[in-house]
A and B are shown apart, each in its own frame.
Chain A
Amino acid sequence: MSASTSSAGAVFGGAIPGGTIPGPAKDPAVARALGRRRARFNVMVKGLCVAATVVGLVLLGSILLTLIWRGAAGLSLTVFTHTTKPPGSEGGLLNAIVGTLIQTAIGTVVGTPIGLLVGTYLAEYGRSSPLANAVRFVSDVLLSAPSILIGLFVYQLAVEPFGGFSGIAGCIALAVIVIPIVVRTTEDMLRLITPALREAAIGLGAPKWKVIVLICYRAALNGIATGVLLAVARIAGETAPLLFTSLGNLNWSVSLRQPMASLPVTIYQYAGSAFEDWVQLAWVGALLITFGVLAINIAARLVLRPGK
């Protein structure tokens, strides 16, 4: 701090005509040296920040390249037409892909309306009442809570009492993850809508629920859709909550009452195995899920763009 004050004084010291600056006279040589030191330090920090950003980008690049390099080698039609099979025989990932699609779809369909209603409650009804603040806080905690705990919770809730792992339990776990994401974006988007729009509708005699459903939802549609897409991207890649709920299934099964395969869980089982063809399939699965998730993310950003 002392360096910057003294040098600031030095900068003005010679420049103010006729005025004197209290305190000891500044030595221009020292001031210049200090200025150079500040500039050097500034350049150094800037360099480090650029380096940090480069490191971040390199890491992203490394992950994507590893996936493409390892995954593309095993990418073939059999991956999409065959189910998982014992090591050695030509297996694919069909059941895992279908399982992920089913569970993600049901999880989203169940979680979105609840999240939408909660977000509506927070933005339109509760606002800053004690109940709304509590709901907001709890929703935020759920948003960042470790997903493995949601798996344990749903295990206690829907697996143990009903005597077995099931696709339904997996869907419930994913829906629990969807809710807080949709709550957050819905509330934020509804709050962005100008009061004039609501007042105009109310002035025409529309009841509040119609104002919300027909006017506000429509105005906030882009943002809400973004939230839902981000939620889909998040749950499609979730592994931990499915380990104890839908468990994974090496056979073809689309029954929600049976254990159900999913890409992340299959990747987890295969990547740790000692069989080369299973590890290869794990890489293919990883490639599919990552690029799927990233594509949804980018799509979500494109949806939001016109609104911003």
Chain B
Amino acid sequence: MVPAKSLTFLLMDAPYEQTRTATAFRLLDAALRLGFGVRVFAYEGAVSLASTLQKPHANAIHGRSLEEEDHPTPHVWISALVQLAQERGAQFEWVNCGLCVDERGVTEVVSGVRRGSPADFWKMASESDNTLVIPTR
């Protein structure tokens, strides 16, 4: 059996700031659905994507309740990707840069996310079929 191809993605943007984050999640989802193994290295502000301290909120300005607003939280998206990978038997790895985590105090993260270092990114990129760096500006 030929092992599935794998792709590595490096993310840098913090949650709730850039369209790039939503695009990145769309790419991760598409890659898993196409059967690729997916590896993510979260650098700088992107380590906060996995924070379980994110909370959805109501929208008082528009008069919407918490349920009606259905405010997205990126850590839930990561959990959904972890689950999707499990259902499909695909590789999914998410590593947060340790120094970036310490700087930002992102100590509580969703299951399936681990702490690492830029050396992990090098290893991921070396072992993958390709790597896409989605840089911040």
A, B from the same assembly: no
